[in-house]
Structure 1
Amino acid sequence: MEFLHWSCHDVGLWIESIGFPQYKACFTENFITGRKLVHISCVSLPKLGITDFQHMKTISAQLAELLGVSEPRWNRSIADPPHDDLTGFLKMKSRTGQHTDSLTYQQFLINNSK
């Protein structure tokens, strides 16, 4: 989960590496760091200036692969939250703070099973 420590510059390099150099500025000018990548989805991409639907689908799929989470199902209602433990953990890790920085996936699973 090294991506959680990426700077805006690192995220820009990643978006270039997956074939979208035209969107590097969209990510860097909006200060998208590795922690903020966890919150990026097809819903938020237009807010960054990315509106081509095929590009949005590809970026979302690449992001899901990077994060190690299952790709969103396109036939699922956007009102239904994902129920993936890893996604929940990554959303927690996207926050800052001493407790969050030291939290492990195993601890997260134990805390959420209670």
Structure 2
Amino acid sequence: MATSPGNMEFLQWTCHDVAGWIESLGFPQYTACFTENFITGRKLIYVNCAYMPRLGITDFKHIQVISAHVRELLGITEPPWNRSIADSLRDSTGLFLEKKSRTGAQADRLTYQRFLDNMRQ
């Protein structure tokens, strides 16, 4: 289920929608981890291997699998472990999702096309 910039319905997901998706992946034991921590579709950009133990997910294999599914859903790649801060910015989809993860009218109005236009300026 790779995501294209025009197919980002997950941004509208509530924490219960995210929990249902986690359950559909075969991890019903972690649904409360997502609902109790208010992980909505907008916050999925932050759910990675380093963050999941803070949510209460500690099984390393499960962390790897869930993280891979999150990246697939979001349409992003795993950042290399040796990425330098001197490297260019991450891909535009990842940057857009970081902007959309915020709440408020400005984030709500932001579209992928508008984001790309702003990046070019």
Q: Work out whether the TM-score is over 0.5.
A: yes
Structure 1, unpaired ranges of 5+: none
Q: Which amino acid aligns with 2:67?
A: S
Q: Which amino acid aligns with 1:76?
A: W
Partner of 1:58 in structure 2?
A: 65
- Distance in 2, matches of 1:69 and 1:38, equals 9
Q: Which amino acid aligns with 2:11?
A: L
Is 1:6 equivalent to 2:20 in the alignment?
no
Q: How many residues align?
A: 112
**Cα drift, residue 77 of structure 1:** 2.7
TM-score where L is the length of structure 1: 0.88
- Distance in 2, matches of 1:52 and 1:22, equals 11
CA displacement, residues 9-41 of structure 1 (integer Å, 9 cap, x when unaligned): 111100000111111111111111111112111
- Distance in 2, matches of 1:8 and 1:31, equals 5
- Distance in 2, matches of 1:95 and 1:4, equals 11
Is 1:32 equivalent to 2:22 in the alignment?
no
CA displacement, residues 48-83 of structure 1 (integer Å, 9 cap, x when unaligned): 11111111111011001111112x15x523765861
Partner of 1:102 in structure 2?
A: 109
Q: Which amino acid aligns with 2:73?
A: L
Specify which structure has the bigger relative contact order, considering alpha-carbon pairs within 8 angstroms and separated by 6 or more residues. 2
- Distance in 2, matches of 1:79 and 1:3, equals 30
CA displacement, residues 65-102 of structure 1 (integer Å, 9 cap, x when unaligned): 111112x15x5237658611100001101111222111
Which portions of structure 1, spanning 4 or more consecutive aligned residues, are displaced by more than 4 angstroms? 78-82
TM-score where L is the length of structure 2: 0.83
Q: Which amino acid aligns with 2:57?
A: I
Q: What percent of counterpart residues are identical?
A: 56
